[in-house]
């Protein structure tokens, strides 16, 4: 086969060339894939999130989103203690993370404490959820945290 003919076949797809390897999905892409699977296939979501955890995060919010999703995987599997392990590091870095992420994380942690009967810690986290919810610069609904806090404080007043 002559060189021009071979080149023509390759350019026209007449010969199967090895396709280039597909690029590794980013942490954000893996987070998004896991979010779609979270409640229906938590084990598959966990696998994606564990893989995402090995990749560099573009910023603190990407890092936190992986942690948030992992916590929700544990909640779907009825493992609140593991969810706390995933979520508490977000609060340690709360100055770097978007306030809406901090607020929703505090709301979830408050719920865990409330369900466990730990009203003091529940109030503490609901307060933080309200505090960080107010810092969000766009309309953000943190009413559930405010309502839960109010209910717990009303119980204390009785």
DSSP H or E stretch at residue 117: none
**Rounded CA separation 124/22 (Å):** 46
**Rounded CA separation 149/127 (Å):** 7
pLDDT of 93 strictly over 90? yes
Is there a contact between 112 and 80 (Cβ–Cβ < 8 Å)?
yes
At 114, list the tokens: 């409330």
Name which of 82, 103, 101, 115 is nearest 145 in CA terms. 103
Per-residue pLDDT tens for 7-55?
Answer: 444 455 544 555 556 578 999 999 999 999 998 999 999 999 999 999 9
Instruction: Count CA atoms closer than 13 A to 134's CA, side-chain side.
Output: 7
């Amino acid at each position: 086969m002559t060189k021009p003919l071979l080149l023509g076949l390759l350019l026209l797809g007449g010969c199967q060339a090895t396709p280039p390897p597909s690029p590794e999905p980013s942490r954000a892409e893996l987070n998004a894939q896991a979010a779609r699977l979270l409640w229906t296939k938590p084990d598959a979501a966990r696998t994606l999130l564990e893989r995402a955890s090995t990749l560099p995060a573009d910023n603190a919010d990407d890092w936190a989103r992986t942690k948030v999703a992992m916590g929700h995987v544990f909640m779907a599997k009825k493992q609140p203690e593991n969810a706390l392990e995933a979520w508490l590091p977000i609060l340690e870095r709360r100055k770097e993370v978007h306030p809406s992420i901090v607020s929703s994380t505090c709301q979830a942690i408050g719920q865990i404490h409330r369900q466990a009967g730990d009203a003091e810690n529940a109030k503490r986290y609901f307060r933080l959820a309200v505090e960080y919810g107010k810092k969000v610069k766009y309309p953000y609904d943190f009413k559930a945290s405010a309502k839960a806090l109010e209910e717990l404080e009303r119980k204390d007043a009785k």
